[in-house]
Amino acid sequence: MAYSGSRRVQNLPPYLFARIDRLIEEKKAQGVDVISLGIGDPVEPTPDHIIEAHIEALRDPENHRYPSYTGLRAFRVAAARWMEQRFGVSLDPDREILPLIGSKEGIAHTPWALVNEGEVVLVPNPAYPVYETATLLAGAEPYHLPLLEENAFLADVRAVPTDIARRATLMFLNYPNNPTSATADLAYFSEVVEWARENGILIAHDNAYSEITFGSYAAPSILEVEGARDIAIEFHSLSKSYNMTGWRIGFVAGNADAIDALGRLKTNIDSGIFNPIQYAGIEALERGAADIAAMVRIYERRRERVWAFLDRVGLQYWKSDATIYVWVRVPDGETSESFTSYLLERAGVVVSPGSAYGHHGEGYIRISLTVPDSRLEEAVSRLESVL
Ligand SMILES: *Cc1c(COP(=O)(O)O)cnc(C)c1O
């Protein structure tokens, strides 16, 4: 028997990095020392005190058993305290916070838990691909919210046609944004909350980059908007903030009914997060502020290097005060993919083609700052020599 997968799986959009991946393999086979600026995955280690908290919890046999579906109460309390200290948002740790096996897991299950087949889900484009694939897997219909440079990459919800707004039950948003690096202020979130309320649409805001911000800029939580918790949930991730991508831990905060539905779905799928990982998470949330500050200084330095290089070669880019990405316009006459291929072919440097995040990403590439400084220097000098 040959198994080609269910229609559900077959209907997933093609994996757009496939061609680039093939090119990378070819280059490596030719002995080229390929440098990847394509992936947003911190290379610095998880801070020691977080690892120590994990090891200590690991030695307690109580922690080797099935964890609770709703997570350790101590983790939910730590998350609620962090939301209070960071954003001034006070949440009930038992009803308005749910730990997740990485925020991706919660995002992927959200349409399934909260949207019926045939309903519309508003999905930014370009975007983190999970919003759209999760929508499709739930049998719902994605409707794209274009993120355009002329709107500072903010989704214009007022431009959504009335009939679509009427059929929509969920919308995804993500600021600070991957891949464009754009940020949103509270005035924007207020507008979206008002519009979502008028139309009865649940907002799922992905705040994975809330802590990776530069200068005096601090990213807000959508839950700071008056009444937002009636209509919004927000995803938080420990991955990018504390160099914990491999640990798989995050949480969702906000509307209690939506969180209850997500929790009910999850009890039928997973069995929670390994307790020692939650103890590491508590340590990060309670005592990780200095680690974030240190990482932000590193990204800030790398971002300056990349900006200076782009200025020298005359490439346009979005000047943002957040995220680990630089969103760059490709030169005239190039597409996202042709320019990506050119840089790989000529310089052995991998970037992400903007089109991989949706068709409105066409005409851009994304440069990630998650490479060691010395590799970034090498990449920049190679790129400069071919541009
Ligand atoms: C990295 C990333 C995530 C995933 O975070 P995890 O908590 O590691 O699952 C979610 N959203 C966006 C936009 C991301 O870039």
Q: For 191-239, what is each residue's pLDDT tens digit?
A: 999 999 999 999 999 999 999 999 999 999 999 999 999 999 999 999 9
Q: Is 18:340 a contact under the CB 8 Å cutoff?
A: no
Q: Of 6-10, 163-167, 227-231, which range is least confident?
A: 6-10
- CB of 179 closer than 6 angstroms to any ligand 1 atom: no
State yes or no: pLDDT of 14 exceeds 90. Answer: no
The string of DSSP codes covering 282-309 is HHHHHH-HHHHHHHHHHHHHHHHHHHHH
Q: Is the domain of 210 the same as that of 309?
A: no
The answer as to whether 102 is a domain residue is: yes
- CB of 237 closer than 6 angstroms to any ligand 1 atom: yes
Domains: count for the chain: 2
Kindly provide the residue ranges of all beta strands, DSSP E only, lying in the chain, ordered along the sequence.
35-36, 97-100, 120-125, 141-146, 168-173, 202-206, 232-237, 250-254, 325-329, 349-350, 352-353, 364-368
| Distance (Å) from CA 170 to ligand 1 centroid | 19
Q: Is 170:201 a contact under the CB 8 Å cutoff?
A: yes
Please state, in angstroms and rounded to a whole number, the distance separating the CA atoms of residues 6 and 10: 6
The verdict on pTM exceeding 0.75 is yes
Residue nearest to atom 12 of ligand 1 (CA): 208
| Distance (Å) from CA 242 to ligand 1 centroid | 13
Structure confidence by residue, pLDDT tens digits, 288-327 = 999 999 999 999 999 999 999 999 999 999 999 999 999 9
**Which neighbouring-strand residues pair with 120?**
141, 168
Domain boundary among 254, 287, 320: 287
The answer as to whether 55 is a domain residue is: yes
| Distance (Å) from CA 103 to ligand 1 centroid | 6
The answer as to whether 89 is a domain residue is: yes
Structure confidence by residue, pLDDT tens digits, 227-278 = 999 999 999 999 999 999 999 999 999 999 999 999 999 999 999 999 999 9
Q: Is 15 helix (H, G, I), strand (E, B) or coil?
A: coil
Give the range of the structural domain holding residue 242, as residue numbers without chain letter: 48-287
The answer as to whether 2 is a domain residue is: no
Residue nearest to atom 4 of ligand 1 (CA): 104
Q: Is 274 helix (H, G, I), strand (E, B) or coil?
A: coil
Task: Enumerate residues 6+ apart whose C-beta is below 8 A from 285.
Answer: 78, 79, 81, 82, 238
H/E stretch holding 107 reads helix 103-114
Q: Of 39-43, 51-55, 101-105, 197-201, which range is least confident?
A: 39-43
Q: Give the CATH number of the domain where residue 241 resides.
A: 3.40.640.10
